[in-house]
Chain A
Amino acid sequence: MIDSVNIARESPDTEQPWADLGLKQDEYESIKEILGRRPTSSELAMYSVMWSEHCSYKSSKVHLRQFGDKAPKTDALLVGIGENAGVVDIGDGWAVTFKVESHNHPSYVEPYQGAATGIGGIVRDIISMGARPLAVMDPLRFGAADAPDTRRVLPGVVAGIGGYGNCLGLPNIGGELVFDESYAGNPLVNALCVGSMKHEDIHLASAKGVDNLVVLYGARTGGDGIGGVSVLASETFDANGPAKRPSVQVGDPFMEKLLIEATLEVLHAGLVEGIQDLGGAGISCATSELASNGEGGMQVYLDRVLLRDASLSPEEILMSESQERMCAVVTPEKIDAFMQLCKKWEVEAVVIGEVTDTGRLVIDWYGDTIVDVPPRSVAHDGPVYERPFHRPSWQDALQADTPTGERLPRPSTPDALKHTLLDLISSPNLASKSWVTSQYDRYVLGNTILAQPEDAGMIRVDEESGLGVAISTDCNSRFAKLDPYAGAQLALVESYRNISVAGAKPLAVTNCLNFGSPEDPEVMWQFAQATTGLADACLELGIPVTGGNVSFYNQTGENAISPTPVVGVLGVINNVEHRTPMAWAGDGDLIYILGDTADEFAGSEWAHLQGHLGGLPPKVDLPAEKLLSEIMVAASHEGMITAAHDVSDGGVGVAVTEMALRANIGARFWIPENIDPFVFLFSESTARAIAVIPGTEELRFSEMCAARGMRATRFGVVDSGLGVNSGHPGEQVIVCDSQFTLTIDQLREVNEATLPALFGGEKCSAQVSESYWDQ
């Protein structure tokens, strides 16, 4: 028997499984208060999912507010926080939208499908703004590289991201791959998508216009992703009901590709009033959000929903997280044209309801009303918690454990320095990522200007004018553990710097805040610190946060992951011809380091390799970052620079090595005066970049730096002819004066061997079960 509003009125005392659905007693009471009666089972299902941490942001909201409160004044922001994704003006009538989301837990359970549907979900967020998706990125974090769990999860995650993104035809232009013990049992799979549109094509998720029709289109609704709700449907209301539903969702990238094309056609044809993707919480979320953002009322006939599995109960249909579905609001005059275009793309569509002015979201099931709620109460006015937080008891001791020379012995001989460099560039975190990235299509769509391993991914938006955007995501969670306030800022400035060295001007910020349990006051403190640090820094750098995502409960038992506020920065470049690649090209070009190097090893990759984590992270210097950014953008625009690379993990030594490997051209460099070679080569001080300047531009460049107060130190020269005199005739060589000489082949060999050695040998067995899905 279906639990209807009438039944609920007549049976106020029916026991309901609110606790099994994750609701707290007071939350259940407030639902009863809102409705003036007990909820129906369908209403209970809706509230329980929409009021979950994941959908309601109940623990994070009070902290996330700062992103709005402290937002810098900018004309660039066309749509801000609160929509599916923020939208930024990039000039010439173009706008871009970008967002990053987590799919951590599903990817741990079923790596291939979890990661694949992570890409699918974020792409639908972007199309629901009216934008054409341009590219994806995938910040990934796993436990120790050689842990069995990492070997189980990583190949599937990578295959899933590739399998979905490649089949969808979106270039993958970057991401992250980080190994750290803190993620054992809790890998982080974040996915970012960026899209572009003309200003007039921006669309919002709102159900406007009484009598307009609500259309559900795309894949049919099946029983996936409703693990929790099946408790409700099968155990409480009908003991003989359907078996427990799988909580795993399976993606169909081909359907998503059709959905993209169909959606863009209906949007461009002017057939749509409002649009919303179906992600977490499925139809519950889409209908309540659309109604809440629009006229406030909606009538839905749930029995019209096209099903993949006829045995689904209405509660399950409301909650299903089946992938590749969208919801649009269409006027009655345009519905035929809308349906026609869906048909062209072989996408099924059905009108499931209409917009009303009743202020209620009413859902019927074969004539019975099973939901009758104020939509705002479901979608926007959920509970808000001010969770307690306090500084962890261990924080002071951790910060006091500085990696000084006495605490951690440092290499001092030339030979030891050489081996330190080799150890770093072959360590899993700094080794070549091509085992992963060669599984991703970076060429499709033909507008990829820069892609991994470049500092930023860069995409041409307008083929005529050369207008483009650059994106980077970053986070060093060790820094964030040492000091979450500074750690979030360090993630931001690294990303900001990556954009700038590529020649683009930073414009806007998105984030994916991955933390442990919000019920742990120490985790909550990390979260509060990180959000405050990020908001403060964005204000000072003048770039707004346009959106983001929070992922809590990343922990195993009592052990939370290191706080991981992944920050994505988007920049704009007027003409992609000015982009700065990381590979140097010209013999005789001069290698400069911009910025100051201090003795900063806490949380560094070198300390990590020694198994040490303690001290205070590198100093954040926002004015210096801003200046560095302006100089890098000007240098690229003025054609003074031929290559650049930011200095971060592994310091200058690793940065120049990466440039040489990318170019396959050698260089000679030296340690500047008055600095310890180890500190110069491997410290991770911020606000630094390497710039490569042709001799003809040197004067202009150094004068610009001097005039603006940026320290620019020449410390090397590109030279393809060093092999002969260093005993390696015919080879490309890097020479660090009076320290060491290494051939590029030697460096490449150790740099490229690491990931295949870890994952290549096992790739066959790991691949067996996924091969089914793999294209």
Chain B
Amino acid sequence: MSARIGVVTFPGSLDDVDAARAIRIAGGTAVALWHGDTDLHGVDAVVLPGGFSYGDYLRCGAIAKFAPVMSLVIDKAQVGLPVLGICNGFQILCESRLLPGALTRNDHQHFICRDQRLRIESTDTPWTMDFALGQEIVIPLKNGEGGYVASEVVLDELFAENRVIATYQGENPNGSYRNVAGISNKAGNVVGLMPHPEHAVELLTGPTIDGVPFFTSVLKSLIGAP
């Protein structure tokens, strides 16, 4: 049986079907999790998908972090459960303090949707091990509040500890400090990424299929796990 990866749907989640499709394309089994769930249904990893959870009316991800399912995800993430937060999911991970820093309104103040070039800066996480270090990929970016901010100390630490997993290449699309596109926690199991790998898994619908390795990575890492 292939590994079971949960995809959480909050009211207002939008890219949950896409995340599930990407997991299937990579060879995994996608398990739908509901924001009100009080049980993780035995999943081996979790994806927090993109969207506008609870409308994102207060601050992106601010309300979602209090969802019942999130307290389970937070507990399990602290003991090694692989978690990938994409876009709104990344915002939720920061709001939940599983990841440092915060995501703020794009510096140019517009929502932006474009095919974004990234460089993979770390292959030491369960979500990026299938990439080559320094590999350049192109996947969609779409957000209104995607600018990563953190203090200089935190940023220095992230780079020093090899926890920046991807950086923007070319023009900075949203004012992210030091071009940060994605980061991980200290243990590496929790990863937040602003652009959308789940929209780059089929040539018919995406700009590339460069998003697939994020999902094959975690499947591989789980085979090795007890």
Contact = CB atoms under 8 A, between A and B. Distances in A.
A193 to B, nearest CB: 16
Nearest to A169: B14
Interface in B131-149: 140, 142, 144-145
A253 B110 CA distance: 17
B11 A346 contact: yes
A753 to B, nearest CB: 15
Interface string B6-33: 0000011011011001000000000000
**Number of chain A interface residues as a range:** 35 or more
B11 A445 contact: no
A438 B108 contact: no
Given A438-B114, A774-B144, A775-B144, A448 B205 contact: yes
Interface string A256-292: 0110000000000000000000000000000000000
Q: Which of A441, A442, A446, A771 has the most CB of B within 10 A?
A: A446
A460 B205 contact: yes
Contacts of A552: none
B66 to A, nearest CB: 14
A448 B196 CA distance: 15
Interface residues of B, number: 34
A159 B198 CA distance: 25
Contacts of A159: 110-111
Interface stretch (A160-168, A390-398, A584-592): A160-168
A384 interface: no
Given A167-B52, A252-B55, A775-B145, A439 B110 contact: yes
Contact of A763 (B17, B109, B144): B109
B109 A446 contact: no
Nearest to B22: A446
A51 interface: no
B55 A441 contact: no
Interface string A436-457: 0111111111111100000000
A767 interface: yes
Nearest to B199: A443
A346 B54 CA distance: 11
A197 interface: no
A446 B51 contact: no
Contacts of B198: 446
A445 B108 CA distance: 26
Interface in B46-96: 50-52, 54-57, 60
Q: Which of A254, A447, A767 has the most CB of B within 10 A?
A: A254
Nearest to B198: A446
A136 interface: no
28 contacts: A162-B111, A167-B52, A254-B52, A257-B12, A257-B52, A258-B12, A345-B11, A346-B11, A437-B113, A438-B110, A438-B113, A440-B111, A441-B142, A442-B113, A443-B18, A443-B199, A444-B14, A445-B14, A445-B17, A446-B17, A446-B21, A446-B198, A446-B202, A449-B204, A460-B204, A460-B205, A771-B109, A774-B110
Given A254-B11, A443-B140, 6 more contacts: A167-B52, A167-B56, A254-B52, A443-B206, A446-B199, A774-B111
Interface of A: 159, 162-163, 166-169, 252-255, 257-258, 345-346, 437-449, 460, 463, 576-577, 763-764, 767, 771, 774-775
